[in-house]
Amino acid sequence: MTNEIRTAAPHVEEAVIERQRQLCETIEKELMQRGFSEENRPGYYIQTFGCQQNEADSERMAGLAWMMGYRPVSEPDAAQLILVNTCAIREHAEKKALSIIGGYKHVKEKNPDVVIGVGGCMVTQSHRADQLKNSYPYVNFSFDTGALHLLPELIYSALTGGRRQFVSSDTYAVAEGIPSHQEKPYKAWLSIMYGCNNFCSYCIVPYVRGRERSRAPEAILEEARRLIDGGAKDITLLGQNVNSYGRDIGSIDIAGLMRQICALPGDFRLRFMTSHPKDASDALIAAMAEEEKIVPHFHLPVQSGSDEILRRMNRKYTSGEYLSIIEKLKKSVPDVSLTSDIIVGFPGETDADFQATLDIISAVRYDAIFSFIYSPRKGTPAATMEGQVPKEISSRRFEQLLALQHDISRERNQRFVGRTVRALCEEVSKTDPDKMTARAASPRPIHFENNGVPIGEYCDLEIVSADTFSLYGKLINK
Ligand code: SAH
Ligand code: SF4
Ligand code: F3S
């Protein structure tokens, strides 16, 4: 397999993947011998924290679990296999995961046969893997983000009384050929690359996801075709910095890849995340302007509006450079929806630095932002920088930022009122069971009276009103 793949990225050998597939069959037989059957399948329960990349990884864990004969259950108490896919981006994410894992002690007491495994970014840090090993004795195994494909091996060992294992492979290769089980077939995540080379000074991701590696375009196109055949209507290409897709291949870039996917037959839309401003290319902007299937939404995290903070964050662009990309984007894609991530309270952030962030938000006028209070991450340069900002100051700035953005969001959302948009009906509204929630190009959900539009189908909605977080629509056409 490796010979045919046009990418420089290291790949897990086909023989290793094949062994895992065989183990899945062995595990299924083993479970059947233990009293489970076609009608009475053992249950799996996967708890996912973190970003879409983790969601995509959890779908692969689910795909493997299906292959082993497990079926999803909605409560951990009903499961024979519990997997926790952790995140390490902020302290809060780690605390939440540890508390959930702590609660599984009781599940194990009630059902000693349950297999409990922990994967993802948190346990890729050796101090966290050690903590699990030493303080969570009912956890059967953990595996780092480079070892997801070894899940069958780990589960088999746990089922057959093997020793507890805490895998720190420390090697990151592309693993093709792992089945994936999507929760919602109409809304698909498609990883096009893994890892990150950017080492923003606050961020743990490069340490827990390894260096950038692109999947071969052939493999991505094949997966896209499969997803579309399976009913995917909304496909999001995933990577920590999709703008640098293909750099390790040489002959293709993100714009070229997206154009190839758009050329596939089918009624679908294409999104991508995340983009790094230093790599946001004219070719990508042109692709968005020209390809009808690419959703006119650009998530382009700025992080801060202060040039000094950006420098210390190691972001490699200035606020002026960022704004000139935004200008280009607005010119080429006039109705583009813009969103961003912002960190508040980065070490050394002064009132003036923070004001620069407010200023850039006012200048860009994002549809929405995702803002975070800076959280020191062990092993990253920013964690030991001078000038750590006290929590009261960060919290105050955070509130101020939200208030500004809420005003902008409310105003920005008004532009849709009176328009008819084509939206994908995604789910029953979380707040009102009589309503459905759909999504068009804007990242905002559209709520509308359910007149029988099936979930997973497109419909035309006239937007009748809008507030800060939502749009409200009226069905025009199924
Ligand atoms: N690769 C993406 C996003 C990665 S993480 C990108 O570069 O844009 C998502 C967001 O979490 C980041 O954009 C950043 O705003 C935030 N983040 C990352 N590390 C953080 C930290 N230590 N404290 C607070 N927020 C952080
Ligand atoms: Fe983290 Fe920066 Fe990489 Fe994004 S680009 S994952 S913020 S290091
Ligand atoms: Fe979290 Fe890992 Fe994503 S740290 S944000 S799950 S890449």
Domain ranges of the chain: 2-169, 182-295, 298-416, 417-475
Give the predicted TM-score (pTM) of the model.
0.95
With H, G, I as helix, E, B as strand and everything else as coil, classify residue 141: strand
Say yes or no: do domains 2-169 and 298-416 share a fold: no
With H, G, I as helix, E, B as strand and everything else as coil, classify residue 94: helix
- Cβ contacts of 180 within 8 Å, gap of 6 or more: 56, 59, 60, 62, 63
Name the stretches of the chain with pLDDT < 50.
Answer: 1-6
Which pLDDT does position 3 carry in this prediction?
35
CA 438 – ligand 2 centroid, Å: 30
Ligand 2 atom at minimal distance to the Cα of residue 197? 3
| Second CATH level (architecture) for the domain 298-416 | 2-Layer Sandwich (3.30)
Ligand 2 atom at minimal distance to the Cα of residue 209? 6
CA angle 118–51–125, rounded 5-degree value? 45
CA 465 – ligand 1 centroid, Å: 32
Ligand 1 atom at minimal distance to the Cα of residue 370? 15
Which pLDDT does position 7 carry in this prediction?
56
Phi, psi of 461 (to 5 degrees): -125, 135
Which pLDDT does position 441 carry in this prediction?
85
Task: Please say whether the beta carbons of 108 and 138 come within 8 A.
Answer: yes
Residues comprising the chain, all counted: 478
Which pLDDT does position 451 carry in this prediction?
76
CATH topology of domain 417-475: OB fold (Dihydrolipoamide Acetyltransferase, E2P) (2.40.50)
Superfamily of 2-169 according to CATH: Methylthiotransferase, N-terminal domain (3.40.50.12160)
Which pLDDT does position 348 carry in this prediction?
98
Which pLDDT does position 1 carry in this prediction?
32
Pick one of 3.60.15.10, 3.30.750.210, 3.40.462.10, 3.40.50.300 as the CATH number of 182-295: 3.30.750.210
Helix pair 151-159, 14-33: axis angle to 10 deg = 30
Quick one: tokens of 387? 């000038």
In this structure, the number of other CB atoms found within 10 A of the CB of residue 171 comes to: 11
Which pLDDT does position 207 carry in this prediction?
96
Q: Which residue has the tokens 């007491």?
A: 109
With H, G, I as helix, E, B as strand and everything else as coil, classify residue 419: coil
